């Protein structure tokens, strides 16, 4: 049985004070309402707020993730942060290959593979994102695009290391647009991804890897999406900034 996982991606929202207030509010709801066996919870604030957020959730069910990492161990890379820095700040997870990073910062799947390796070497769990654009979906190229992103991004990741990998399928056309993939469309892609993992790593690993769906997940559509056999939770953008909505989505994974 795969344990569901719900991760909140705050993107570039909330200054330090606001981040502390938001994580404190989420922590309060989780403390009062979390049930044993509920989904695993990860919150990904800005890098600036990582360390203080990690301190504020100590002893709770909430884990902290980063939104990016540099592929190098250390060195002259102004403006960057390494996996060991993230770990020392209290992060246990890191989002890699989010479509916004692919689109605005020219991150390729090859670059993501190096980031995935660097993060796993520090025992961080990666949330590796894949997903097609609207144009690719409309021209029926989505399976090829996802296969390419997955194969290149997981290049060099061993079977053992796959226990530190979570995949997030996020169709670009559904991110922040209010449009979600239908649960059938999402399930179809999730099953396809699991099949690709099976052909590379075998059945056991394919059955244990969690594949999250992301793109306009809200309290009112989460239950149906999470009810699909190959959907193991969600990566939540906008709704993760609203503590009550975020927790309703966590509950929908029950
Ligand atoms: P959204 O973002 O939930 O606001 O669509 C999802 C994401 O980008 O991870």
- Give the 3-state secondary structure of the chain: CCCCEEEEECCCCCCHHHHHHHHHHHHHHHHHHCCCCCCEEEEECCHHHHHHHHHHCCCCCEEEEECCCCCCCCCCCCCCCCHHHHHHCCCCEEEECCHHHHHHCCCCHHHHHHHHHHHHHCCCEEEEEECCCHHHHHCCCHHHHHHHHHHHHCCCCCCHHHHHEEEEECCHHHCCCCCCCCHHHHHHHHHHHHHHHHHHHCHHHHHHCCEEEECCCCHHHHHHHHCCCCCCEEEECHHHHCHHHHHHHHHHCC
93 is catalytic: no
Task: Choose which residue among 6, 169, 180, 214 to substitute to test ligand 1 binding: the one with the highest number of ligand atoms within 8 A of its C-beta.
Answer: 214
Q: How far is the CA of 87 from the centre of ligand 1 (A)?
A: 24
pLDDT band (50, 70, 90) for residue 51 = very high
Which of 71, 100, 136, 170 is the catalytic position? 170
Q: Residue 139's pLDDT is what?
A: 96
Q: How many CB atoms lie within 10 A of CB 64?
A: 27
Task: Give the model confidence (pLDDT) of 57-113 as tens digits.
Answer: 999 999 999 999 999 999 999 999 999 999 999 999 999 999 999 999 999 999 999
Q: Residues 128-133: what's their mean pLDDT?
A: 98
Residue-number span of the structural domain to which 229 is assigned: 5-252
The answer to whether the CB of 171 is under 6 A from ligand 1 is: no
Mean pLDDT on 4-32: 98
- List the residue whose alpha carbon is closest to atom 2 of ligand 1: 237
165 lines ligand 1 (CB under 6 A): no
Q: Whole-model pTM?
A: 0.97
Residue of minimum CA distance from atom 7 in ligand 1: 237
| Probe target for ligand 1 pocket from 131, 181, 215, 248, with the most ligand atoms within 8 Å of CB | 215
Both tokens of 26, joined, read 């989420």
Mean pLDDT score of the chain, rounded to an integer? 97
Q: Which atom of ligand 1 is nearest to the CA of 95?
A: 9
Note the pLDDT tens digit of each residue in 203-238. Answer: 999 999 999 999 999 999 999 999 999 999 999 999
How high is the pLDDT of residue 41?
98
Distance from residue 219's CA to the centre of ligand 1 (Å): 13
Q: Whose CA is nearest to atom 3 of ligand 1?
A: 237
Give, for ligand 1, the residue of 98, 180, 238 to mutate: max count of ligand atoms closer than 8 Å to Cβ: 238
Please say if the pLDDT value at position 142 is more than 90: yes
CATH of the domain at 75: 3.20.20.70
Name the domain count of the chain.
1
Q: What is the pLDDT of residue 1?
A: 83
Is residue 241's pLDDT more than 90? yes
What's the confidence (pLDDT) of residue 178?
A: 86
Q: Is the CB of 131 under 6 A from ligand 1?
A: no
pLDDT band at 180 (very low <50, low <70, confident <90, very high): confident
Answer yes or no: is the C-beta of 70 below 6 A from any ligand 1 atom.
Answer: no
Smallest CA separation from ligand 1 atom 6, residue: 237
Q: Catalytic pick from 93, 98, 142, 190?
A: 98
**Percentage, residues of the chain above pLDDT 90:** 96
Q: Verify whether residue 170 is a known catalytic residue.
A: yes
* Average pLDDT of span 179-204: 96
């Amino acid at each position: 049985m795969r344990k569901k996982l719900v991760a909140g991606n705050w993107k570039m929202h909330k200054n330090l004070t606001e981040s502390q207030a938001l994580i404190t509010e989420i922590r309060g709801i989780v403390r009062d309402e979390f049930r044993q066996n509920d989904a695993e919870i990860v919150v990904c604030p800005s890098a600036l707020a990582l360390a203080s957020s990690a301190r504020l959730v100590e002893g709770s069910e909430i884990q902290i993730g980063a939104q990016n990492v540099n592929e190098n161990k250390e060195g002259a890379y102004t403006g960057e942060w390494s996996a060991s820095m993230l770990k020392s700040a209290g992060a246990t997870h890191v989002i890699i290959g989010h479509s916004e990073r692919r689109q605005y910062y020219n991150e390729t799947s090859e670059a993501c593979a190096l980031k995935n390796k660097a993060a796993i070497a520090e025992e961080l769990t990666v949330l590796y994102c894949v997903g097609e654009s609207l144009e690719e979906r409309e021209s029926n190229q989505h399976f090829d695009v996802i296969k390419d992103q997955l194969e290149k991004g997981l290049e060099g990741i061993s079977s053992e290391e796959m226990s530190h990998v979570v995949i997030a399928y996020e169709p670009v056309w559904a991110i922040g647009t209010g449009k979600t993939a239908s649960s059938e469309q999402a399930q179809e892609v999730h099953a396809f991804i699991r099949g690709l993992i099976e052909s590379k790593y075998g059945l056991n690993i394919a059955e244990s890897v969690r594949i999250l769906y992301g793109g306009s997940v809200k309290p009112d559509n989460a239950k149906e999406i999470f009810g699909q056999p190959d959907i193991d939770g969600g990566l939540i953008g906008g709704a993760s900034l609203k503590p009550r909505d975020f927790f309703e989505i966590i509950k929908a994974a029950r």
